Amino acid sequence: QKEVEQDPGPLSVPEGAIVSLNCTYSNSAFQYFMWYRQYSRKGPELLMYTYSSGNKEDGRFTAQVDKSSKYISLFIRDSQPSDSATYLCAMRRASGGSYIPTFGRGTSLIVHP
Amino acid sequence: EADIYQTPRYLVIGTGKKITLECSQTMGHDKMYWYQQDPGMELHLIHYSYGVNSTEKGDLSSESTVSRIRTEHFPLTLESARPSHTSQYLCASSESTRLGSQYFGPGTRLTVT
């Protein structure tokens, strides 16, 4: 079983929809949770960074962490065609490890006009 | 926007050639990383460095080598390229703080014929 599971999609939604992207994980030692966005033929760029459980909001993006369920989510409100990209979740320990994150395989999102 | 650069962006070479993929960052980050990414798959860590003269192998078995003679420079070398090395190679760097998140370069897309 992989430490981080992420449905590769593709997920296709109409413009303006609310998008929910999710990851599950098995390692309870993970404390830092990240979401990256990767456009085609580009490197990943950091979108959101959260520590432990709870919600974090940044504009149209909300990151949510439920450590009891080992489940994290990224919500995108009022989705735009420019949001079409692959979204990767990543997570890592706070201590006792190399601090190198473990990545999910990414979910491909397509927002059509 | 993160200042991390990779050259070349695209490379097509024949089997058996020696190649070096360049990565430079201007942020003064101590930690640098090389990942391999195939379409729809997870990022696989190949090598990482925690500072000058420090290099470690990652999770993915690789026939590549790296060096870290200067903080800003972390080149990856393939002594003898093979078709199985065809992939996207991503370089990243991060601060040496507890919350230090990774910043990625644009990637090098390598094709070995």
The pLDDT tens digits of the residues spanning A17-73 come to 999 999 999 999 899 999 999 999 899 999 998 988 889 999 999 999 999 999 999
Counting one residue from chain A and one from chain B, the pairs whose CB atoms sit within 8 A come to 48
State the pLDDT at residue B98: 61
Q: Which chain A residues have a beta carbon less than 8 Å from that of B102?
A: 46, 101
Question: Does residue B59 have a pLDDT over 90?
Answer: no
Q: Which pLDDT score is estimated for A93?
A: 83
A69-83, A91-105, B6-20, B36-50: segment of lowest average pLDDT: A91-105
Min Cα–Cα distance to chain A from B80, Å: 25
What are the E-state strand segments in chain B? 4-7, 10-13, 19-25, 31-37, 43-51, 54-57, 64-66, 76-78, 87-94, 102-104, 108-112
- What percentage of chain B reaches a pLDDT higher than 70? 95
Tokens at residue B48, please?
């990482």
Nearest to A46 among B33, B45, B101 (CB): B101
- The predicted pLDDT at position A60 comes to 97
pLDDT, position A24: 97
pLDDT of residue A98: 64
Q: Which helix (H) or strand (E) holds A112?
A: strand A107-112
Residues of B near A (CB-CB distance < 8 A)?
A: 2, 6, 33, 40-43, 45, 48, 58, 90, 92, 98-107, 109
Residues of A with CB under 8 A from a CB of B: 2, 4, 8, 32, 34, 36, 41-46, 49, 51, 88, 94, 98-101, 103-106, 108
Q: Check if the beta carbon of residue A112 is closer than 8 Å to that of residue A81.
A: yes
pLDDT reading at B31 higher than 80: yes
E strand map for A6-104:
11-14, 19-25, 30-38, 45-51, 54-58, 61-66, 71-76, 85-93, 102-103
In this predicted structure, what is the pLDDT of residue B10?
96
Candidates B58, B102, B106; nearest CB to A42: B106
